Amino acid sequence: MVPITPRTSQHLLMWCRNYQTIGTVPQPRHIRFSIGVYQITQGMSWQIASPVRWQSFCAAAMHFIMCAEAYGVSLSGDMPETLEEFPEATNAPWYDLLMAIGKAQQQIIYHPSISSGSSRASRFSERHLQFRLWTLVKSCFAMTPQGYREQGCLDEMKILTGDLPEKP
């Protein structure tokens, strides 16, 4: 796998799908979700106008896309044509973000692969999981300036594939 500049949302979806399937460090789907949450907390800890902050939010969005792919939930119908078309947040959407994390986590817990044989599996809704993961992707891109989203995703791809510059 090699990093690509995601010129369209479909390029990003395809790369994330391939990485989750054949990437150098495939993760179980519930771990992929946890990595996305971790990336949000990393982004929150950096200064407001920092490229490292924005890269963390792009990384979170990518991990939530990979999580959706691992659960067989398609986000392609909701994605705009380009990453720049996601609207920027006027305020940090923390409430929406926290609610989406909690509700998506609930669906992951209810997933039949985790809750088989219990009554919790009957509460699983693929539609709810799809909606919550989509809300997370949308919120993470909204917290990243439109002009930095492609670069932020490319930087995360380089990290995931180990395509980093040599240290002097």
Task: Give pLDDT, residue 111.
Answer: 77
Q: What's the length of the chain?
A: 168
The HSE-up count of residue 24 (CA atoms within 13 Å, CB side) is 10
Using alpha carbons, select from 86, 83, 102 the residue that is nearest to residue 94: 102
pLDDT in tens, 117-135: 556 657 777 888 898 899 9
Percent of the chain at pLDDT exceeding 70: 91
Task: Give pLDDT, residue 117.
Answer: 56
SS3 94: helix
CB atoms inside a 10 Å sphere around CB 113: 12
CA distances from 16 to 2, 31, 64, 94, 135 (A): 11, 15, 9, 25, 17
Task: Give pLDDT, residue 149.
Answer: 94
Tokens coding 118:
């219990």
Using alpha carbons, select from 162, 150, 166 the residue that is nearest to residue 1: 162
- What's the pTM? 0.87
Task: Give pLDDT, residue 9.
Answer: 92
Using 50, 70 and 90 to split pLDDT, how confident is the model at 52? very high
More confident residue, 167 or 50: 50
Using 50, 70 and 90 to split pLDDT, how confident is the model at 78? confident
